[in-house]
Amino acid sequence: MESKKRVIQIIPYLGLGGAEIMVEHLSVALASNKMDILVVSLYEYHSAITERLEDQKIPILFLNKKKGFDFKVFFRLYKLLKEKKPDAIHTHLFTMPYAIPAAFFAKVPIKVHTVHNIAKEEVGKFGRKINWFCYKFMKVIPVSISPIIKNSIIQEYRLSDNQVPMIYNGINLEECIEKNEYGENNRLIKILHIGRFSEQKNHIGLINSFKLVHEKAPNTVLKLIGTGELEKRIRVRVKELNLESSVEFLGSISNVYPYLNEADIFVLPSLWEGMPISLIEAMGTGVPIVATAVGGIPDMIEDNKTGLLVGINDGKISEALLKLIYDITLQEKLGIAAKVASSRFSSKKMAIKYEMLYK
């Protein structure tokens, strides 16, 4: 009888970000395909993701990394890999400087790294030099999650097309709560955003856009799910624009599907993106979408077919939001089409393609 393939997923922490959610869904799908999965987190961080992984009987190991470069993490990983003898390791975000040398000396045969963002945005300049060395000399397979990210990896690290496989991010679409009704013009219109309060997510631009929307459609409310380093600045901007009664800060939410189901519009005004998990969640729910045409988003959303794509401009974002607010038929059309299109981004499909890389 053939033994189970053993794969170790390595990630910095297990918060509620997109990469972490992708690791959760991938690990669960791989385990359901009879693979032996261990999730290793550099930092100890407990969240809904750790609870869900534990519920699925997927073990988690925290390495208790200290701030800055922690050389002890390399030795802990090396010892772990020598003991577990995995068939493959799969790294995410900035874990390569620790995990890949440890895997090299532990003679792990397959080393995979998912690039979750545009190559230049993934890590700093020094980190990119380490990544380049790992790709060139340590036989690490860089996986892109969209065509634009694939091109950025090829250009940044001077790799050939066939050295960079592309695998779409995926989620368990069966968890999505399908939207079954769309709003009426005379009721409160709920606009939802999910994302960390960071420069990338462009909350200030979103608040400015919502001000323009709210002036023309006062029956609107903006709901923000997430936390982050820019939250205080964003709250100040909300106060400056006298929007305190119309913008709700919901904090970190472990299960976003009820909020997506209740939303009339999902908005994603990011300055750059890879393949955002929140957008897949919105598509899977069937909520109509307004998003900026950056990164991998145009590969996910077809303008005027499965959502509305706009440039990074407060006026353009507000214009698209108003277009949807005033056109319920368009809301329903885009929402249903997005739901159908979401089938491309299932965790089952994602897991099958990663399994092929692990062999």
Instruction: Tell me what pLDDT residue 298 has.
Output: 96
Beta strands 110-114 and 36-41, pairing class: unpaired
The most confident of 44-48, 67-71, 300-304, by mean pLDDT? 300-304
Q: What is the pLDDT of residues 288-328, one digit of tens each?
A: 999 999 999 999 999 999 999 999 998 999 999 999 999 99
Give the DSSP per-residue string, 181-213.
----TTSPEEEEEES-SSGGGTHHHHHHHHHHH
Beta bridge partners of 251: 225
Beta bridge partners of 144: 166
6-172+345-358 maps to CATH 3.40.50.2000: yes
Q: How far is CA 322 from CA 48, 71, 204, 209, 342, in A?
A: 35, 53, 18, 10, 24
59 SS3 class: coil
Q: How many CB atoms lie within 10 A of CB 77?
A: 26
Instruction: Tell me what pLDDT residue 11 has.
Output: 98
Which of 141, 192, 146 is closest to 356 using CA atoms?
141
Non-local CB neighbours of 188 within 8 Å, separated by 6+ positions: 219, 220, 221
Amino acid 77 reads L
Mean local confidence (pLDDT), 4-9: 95
- DSSP run (H or E) holding 248: strand 247-251
Average pLDDT taken over every residue of the chain? 95
Q: What is the pLDDT of residues 202-219, one digit of tens each?
A: 999 999 999 999 999 999
Instruction: Tell me what pLDDT residue 2 has.
Output: 60
319 SS3 class: helix
Helices and strands counted in the chain (H then E): 15, 12
47 SS3 class: coil
CA distance 37 to 1: 19
Residue 354 backbone dihedrals phi, psi, to 5 degrees: -70, -35
**Is residue 119 scored above 60 in pLDDT?**
yes
289 SS3 class: strand
Domain with CATH 3.40.50.2000 in the chain: 6-172+345-358, 174-344
Non-local CB neighbours of 193 within 8 Å, separated by 6+ positions: 201, 203, 206, 222, 223, 224, 225, 226, 266, 267, 268, 269
The matching CATH number, chosen from 3.60.15.10, 3.90.1570.30, 3.40.1390.10, 3.40.50.2000, for 174-344 is 3.40.50.2000
CA distance 170 to 281: 9
Q: Out of 79-93, 173-187, 309-323, 324-338, pick the least confident.
A: 173-187
Instruction: Tell me what pLDDT residue 314 has.
Output: 84
> What percentage of the chain has pLDDT greater than the value 90?
89
Give 1's pLDDT tier (boundaries 50, 70, 90): very low
Cα angle for residues 165, 115, 344 (degrees, 5° grid): 60
Q: What is the pLDDT of residues 239-275, one digit of tens each?
A: 999 999 999 999 999 999 999 999 999 999 999 998 9
- DSSP run (H or E) holding 78: helix 71-84
Mean local confidence (pLDDT), 11-37: 95
Question: With contact defined as beta carbons under 8 Å apart, do 44 and 62 qualify?
Answer: yes
